[in-house]
Amino acid sequence: MPIALYVNIDHVATLRQARGTQYPDPVWAAALCELAGADGITVHLREDRRHIQDRDLHLLRQTVRGTLNLEIAPLPELIDLACALKPNIVTLVPERRQERTTEGGLNVAAQGKELEPLVRRLQQAGISVSLFIAPDLVQVRAAEQLKVPRIELHTGYYCEATLVHGQQEVAKAELERLAIAAETGVGLGLHIAAGHGLDYPNVRPVAALPGVEELNIGHAVVARAVMVGMQAAVREMIEILRTVS
């Protein structure tokens, strides 16, 4: 099976919110991503609504033809919203108001008790739940204990190392950490996604990791789309992914 690409379109909404206009519309962007071959769309509804708005979610639920993956913090009001919306996947992510973007993974090992009722509510609504975690075996095992079907491994540590000159050894070690986490997850019966910070030059080794089935990629694709157009940006990413699967 080729690896699936879910394009995160949050930053199309960031551009819109910067001026309070109606454009660019993330709903249009989602349609263009799918027309270009993306397997699905990912959006993060942040508590402060800094980019994606509730209106976007409702329209996306009606228009996205592939997988709709909604990222939310594990907060009761957002769980209510997700249960009513019924995206295909809800990915639970940690969220801090001050952060520029999601900074770390969920500490499932420490927060299992609080997460469990929220996970069950989503599952009762027929939603496939994923947990965004660091590539740590403690977290992978804790996710399996919570009986979720899927996890998303945080690739941010690997990606950061690929950006800094002279950090190749760190990047290699982070990639190995991702490989071990993915292998362990697969062994526990979990579906494995990965994402955060992935870009055209650094995506290939992650896409090639055994067991990784889905990638969530946002900022790099939207940034390229500003230059070459959304469909071209998505197609370029898919071309790279095809060379590894």
Residue selected from 33, 198, 203, 233 as contacting ligand PXP according to rule CB under 6 A: 198
Q: Which is nearer to ligand PXP, 179 or 220 (CB)?
A: 220
Residue selected from 13, 57, 73, 91 as contacting ligand PXP according to rule CB under 6 A: 91
Q: Which residue's entry shows tokens 């939310």?
A: 72
In the complex, what is the shortest distance from the CB of residue 115 to ligand PXP, in angstroms, rounded to a whole number?
A: 15
| 158 belongs to the binding site for ligand PXP (CB under 6 A) | no
- Pull the structure tokens for residue 146: 């919570």
In the complex, what is the shortest distance from the CB of residue 231 to ligand PXP, in angstroms, rounded to a whole number?
A: 18
DSSP 97: T
| Burial letters 116-133, b for 16+ CB under 10 A, else e | eebbebbeebebbbbbbb
| 46 belongs to the binding site for ligand PXP (CB under 6 A) | no
Phi, psi of 240 (to 5 degrees): -65, -45
Task: With CB under 6 A as the rule, give the number of residues binding ligand PXP.
Answer: 19
In the complex, what is the shortest distance from the CB of residue 50 to ligand PXP, in angstroms, rounded to a whole number?
A: 11
Are 221 and 239 a contacting pair, CB within 8 Å? no
Backbone φ/ψ region at 161: left (φ over 0), alpha (ψ -120 to 50), beta = alpha
In the complex, what is the shortest distance from the CB of residue 31 to ligand PXP, in angstroms, rounded to a whole number?
A: 19
Question: What positions carry a catalytic annotation?
Answer: 44, 71, 196
Give the residue from 233, 239, 245, 236 showing the smallest Cα distance to 209.
245
Binding site for ligand PXP (CB under 6 A): 8, 10, 44, 71, 91, 93, 101-102, 132, 152, 195-198, 216-220
